[in-house]
Amino acid sequence: MEYFEFLSLWLLIFMKNNKVVLILLALFATDSLAAPVELKSRIVAQTQVALEQDIIDGVWGIVGNKPNQGAHVYRNPKGGPNGEPSYLFHAKSNKVNRIEFTEAFGRFDTLDKLSAERLEKVLAIKDAYLNVDVGHYGDTVTYSWSTKFPQNLDKNSQGIVAQWHGRPDRTLIEKDGLIQYLSIDEFYTLQQQYQFRKDKKAINRRTNKVENILIDGAAGGPIAALRLGDGYLHMIVRSENARRSDSLTKVKPKATSPLGKTISKGSKQGALVWKLPVSQITKDKWMNFKVEIHYSEYSLAEDEVLTPGHIKIWLDGKMVADWQGNIGKNDILGPYFKFGIYKPGRNGIMVEHSNYQRQIARTRKSPVQHLH
């Protein structure tokens, strides 16, 4: 007998006992709603306005591949360690680039005060998350969450399961060796004249020639990342002090790198700050992380770090890392957190996350800058 047919039969039998019927229906309805549900919506964080129905539990936007591309995420309303919602991410293979929750994206409730013309320009320059405040460089931000790995996790499992990402200065340009911060209107006009390639160089739309104008890029990887690889679950951090980042130059600390040692390449730095052998991870059990990051503060006038940073990591209440050094990127907008799966290995990976919280201590010494 089907589930809802069964409910209908009970309804007929106990029609006269309204209280009993209501109690039974409430119990069955609760169990039904508690079943995991696949979340199929996706957003583009920089160029899209996420509506209320696109925002998961008032916090998250989903970015990445779609279910028909092998990327799945399921919400279990009571699956977390304390009965809170949990989110099971599954990338079937390395054909999935990412399936993640992000806390910084173009939200309808942060963009609703912009005029239609202004909103069009913000989306066109890929800065939809400009009004989202999740901490600034120079602040000290504490993140906590729980993660659970499945039984089939092994030394060959690969992928980033949590990361902290920078937000490039969308209106910064370098022309003839000089750095300029344009207004949104100025950069929008410039973008009508030039197409910017992946290497951040400008192509004149009229002449189709490359000109000596460069824009800001990513740091060549996440500012910090909790990843699986080389038989370890490990945390790496990065710093980029140049105002205009070169996306093509990368610093890649690995689980096999010297623990705690800073490696440098040009204006970029990186370090491995913590690692745990996969063989020591208890499968199907919640691991409780707390990560405190004091982000470095950078000069918007020069390519330099003003104040160093630190990262402290606790696992199940025990401090496992306390590293001092530069963490962050020389940008106006502060970094943001994501968890899920990024760049899985050939055989894919599954991971479950829950119970995310964030606390911001406003420790930045310089005034916060804004785009106009």
Regarding whether 113 and 256 lie in a shared domain, the answer is: yes
Residue 12 has pLDDT above 60, yes or no: no
Regarding whether 156 and 144 lie in a shared domain, the answer is: yes
Q: Domain for residue 372, yes or no? A: no
Residue 29 has pLDDT above 50, yes or no: no
Q: Which residue has the higher pLDDT, 306 or 201?
A: 306
The span from the CA of 141 to the CA of 32, in Å, is 38
Residue 23 has pLDDT above 90, yes or no: no
Regarding whether 253 and 357 lie in a shared domain, the answer is: yes
Residue 204 has pLDDT above 90, yes or no: yes
Q: Domain for residue 128, yes or no? A: yes
Residue 21 has pLDDT above 90, yes or no: no
Q: Which of 155, 190, 215 lies at the terminal end of a domain, its last residue?
A: 215
Overall average pLDDT of the 272-288 stretch: 97
**How far from 318 is each of 99, 287, 312, CA to CA, in Å?**
29, 11, 11
Phi and psi (nearest 5°) for 79?
A: -85, -10
Regarding whether 93 and 43 lie in a shared domain, the answer is: yes
The span from the CA of 17 to the CA of 260, in Å, is 68
pLDDT in tens, 328-338: 999 999 999 99
Regarding whether 21 and 114 lie in a shared domain, the answer is: no
Regarding whether 202 and 324 lie in a shared domain, the answer is: no
Regarding whether 222 and 211 lie in a shared domain, the answer is: no
Cα-Cα-Cα-Cα dihedral sign, residues 60, 66, 67, 70: negative
Q: Domain for residue 368, yes or no? A: no
Q: Domain for residue 261, yes or no? A: yes
Q: pTM score, two decimals?
A: 0.89
Window from 26-40, 50-64, 199-213 with minimum mean pLDDT: 26-40
- What is the pairing mode between strands 336-342 and 71-76? unpaired
Model confidence band, residue 198 (pLDDT cutoffs 50, 70, 90): confident
Q: Is 5 exposed, middle or buried (0-12, 13-18, 19+ CB in 10 A)?
A: exposed
pLDDT in tens, 326-362: 999 999 999 999 999 999 999 999 999 999 999 999 9
Regarding whether 160 and 118 lie in a shared domain, the answer is: yes
Q: Domain for residue 45, yes or no? A: yes
Q: Domain for residue 108, yes or no? A: yes
User: What residues contact residue 19 under an 8 Å CB cut-off, 6+ apart?
Assistant: none
Helix axis angle, 116-124 to 184-193, nearest 10°: 60
pLDDT at residue 30 in the model: 43
User: What residues contact residue 363 under an 8 Å CB cut-off, 6+ apart?
Assistant: 138, 139, 140, 294
Length of the chain: 372
Regarding whether 348 and 248 lie in a shared domain, the answer is: yes
Task: Find out whether 216 and 245 touch, Cβ atoms under 8 Å.
Answer: yes
Residue 16 has pLDDT above 80, yes or no: no
The span from the CA of 331 to the CA of 243, in Å, is 7
Domain count, the chain: 3
pLDDT at residue 371 in the model: 66
pLDDT in tens, 130-158: 999 999 999 999 999 999 999 999 999 99
What percent of the chain lies above the pLDDT cut of 70? 90
Window from 19-33, 120-134, 139-153, 210-224 with minimum mean pLDDT: 19-33
Task: Find out whether 41 and 66 touch, Cβ atoms under 8 Å.
Answer: no
Residue with tokens 């745990």: 276
- Of 295, 293, 365, the C-alpha closest to 331 is 295
Window from 4-13, 83-92, 126-135 with minimum mean pLDDT: 4-13
* Joined tokens for residue 275: 């690692």
Residue 3 has pLDDT above 60, yes or no: no
Q: Which of 215, 249, 275 lies at the terminal end of a domain, its last residue?
A: 215
Model confidence band, residue 188 (pLDDT cutoffs 50, 70, 90): very high
**In the chain, what is the greatest distance between 2 CA atoms, to the nearest angstrom?**
84
The CATH number covering residue 286 comes to 2.60.120.200
Q: Which of 180, 198, 215 lies at the terminal end of a domain, its last residue?
A: 215
Regarding whether 262 and 179 lie in a shared domain, the answer is: no
Mean pLDDT (the chain) is 90
Q: Domain for residue 253, yes or no? A: yes
What percent of the chain lies above the pLDDT cut of 90? 84
Regarding whether 189 and 92 lie in a shared domain, the answer is: no
pLDDT at residue 273 in the model: 98
Regarding whether 26 and 72 lie in a shared domain, the answer is: no
Domain that holds residue 16: 3-33
